[in-house]
Amino acid sequence: MKPRRIVLLLSLAGVVVIGFFLLAELLTPNESPEYFAREVSQKESDNDSFSSSGVRTRKAETVQSTKLSAGRIPEPGLATQQRDEEEELAQEQAQEDEAEKEEAARDEEKQNLNEEQQATFNHFLSQLTRENWREARAELLSTYKNGLLPRNRFVENQFWSRVGEIGGKDLANELLSKSDPAFSKILEGWGKKNPQEVFDYFAELDLRSPLVQKYLEKTNFREYPFMDQLSNSLIEGLMHTDSSSSLGDFQVDEISKAIDFFKENDPNKAASLMREFSKRVVHNKDPEVLKEWIAHYDDPRLQGEAAGKVIESGTFDKDPASAAKFAMSLTEEEARRPALSAAYARLAGGVNGHDPNLTATQLIEMDKGHDRDFALNGFAHGLVRKDPEGALAWANEISNENFRKVVTKNIAKRIKKELPNAQAQVEE
């Protein structure tokens, strides 16, 4: 399909901004934006369900039981193969699986505001402006401390969504230029307010630019979820073009056009949109129906991205081993890679009572090659939260040297960001 500009039909609603207001105990003007970003609530522990004793690895020829020791991994004897960008993106599939499980856990624990709190909070949000949001953020943090509002995902999302609506592209550029983590928080609100602007921004953004790379380095972020946040912002905007806020025929058509456009112009961004699109399509669907939906795509990469999201959605969790079988059934290697990473990440997490040590034994016995490397990638990332040392050990089993370096580097970044107390122990 030829590249084309996508014209999005926006349903504009008037936004009444009542003006600048300041409550008590505002921060002084010399407080930096980084202060407010640092105050964003930290990730809660994930809901993985296997023993804290962890899973370890050693040479296949010395396995005597499924409880594997943490011996040093020998260097692989296979010739080094060239790493490409597709491998770098696919190896991060499992990381997003972990983040989505945490998000689901937080959503389950969401505290509803009572009527008085909701009215107060709505009034607070109505006062936000492009100029005062930082001071308002400080005041919101104060209300958390005073117990006037609960600090939960709902309240945080509403605040940042409103900041995105009023700040738009100018604020996004400002935050990105300062490597401010708040950049990722405002995207969804910006997309709901102006999806066409987000589309243009996403299309023009060079993910390899020094500006973006500096942001990723300073925030310990990764390209894969960075792209997906922008894709999510665009899709959320499209879903809010009418009052249904759902995937209707118009929304599906517009998202499909966007995927086609980026498929021609930037395959990495097309894959990102496909992941976010799939996340919404797969909800409460039967595995067989989803297999047919994936088979509908003739592009192996898009098949892989869709399959990965289907697996991450928990569709196969009643029988988690069947996700790995499904991944292996995909004919094209490019489609299998992200699906295998997603499947083995969930197996490592012990979903539905699965024993990850059984999977560890299977991995040791599996023939070396790309399929095993991507399964190891997923398995290693699935272990990060409960067994960071074991995660690095399994990552070092990857036979492709360049791919192994990418995976171990990203796992180390995850440990540094998500488990700072465990980092020193791993380095010892």
At 135, list the tokens. Answer: 């001071």
Is 310 part of any domain? no
Instruction: Please name which of 378, 302, 307, 384 lies closest in space to residue 347, comparing C-alpha atoms.
Output: 378
Q: How far is CA 106 from the centre of its chain?
A: 15
The CA angle 279-294-335, to the nearest 5 degrees, is: 95
Task: Give the pLDDT mean for 240-250.
Answer: 69
Is 330 within the bounds of a domain? yes
Q: What does the alpha-carbon distance between residue 217 and residue 231 come to, in Å, rounded to a whole number?
A: 21
Instruction: Please indicate, yes or no, if residue 411 is contained in any of the structural domains.
Output: yes
C-alpha angle 163-167-172 in degrees, rounded to nearest 5: 105
Rounded CA separation 161/177 (Å): 20
* 325 within some domain: yes
**Is 339 domain-assigned?**
yes
Average pLDDT, the chain: 75
Distance between the two ends of the chain, CA-based, in angstroms?
54
Position 207 pLDDT exceeds 80? yes
pLDDT of 37-74, one tens digit each?
A: 112 222 322 333 333 334 444 333 322 222 323 332 22
Q: Which domain holds residue 382?
A: 68-73+81-104+320-428
Residue 345's pLDDT band (boundaries 50, 70, 90)? very high
Q: What is the pLDDT of residues 1-45, one digit of tens each?
A: 332 333 332 222 222 222 222 232 222 233 222 222 112 222 322
* 193: pLDDT strictly greater than 60: yes
Sequence length of the chain is 428
Residue 335 lies in a domain: yes
Question: Has residue 392 been placed in a domain?
Answer: yes
The half-sphere exposure of 398 on its side-chain side, counting CA atoms within 13 A, is 31
- Mean pLDDT (whole number) for 347-369: 94
| Of 365 and 3, more confident | 365
* pLDDT tens per residue, range 371-392: 999 999 999 999 999 899 999 9
81: left (phi over 0), alpha (psi -120 to 50) or beta: beta
pLDDT at position 41: 22
Number of domains in the chain: 1
**Residue 345 belongs to a domain:** yes
Record the pTM: 0.62
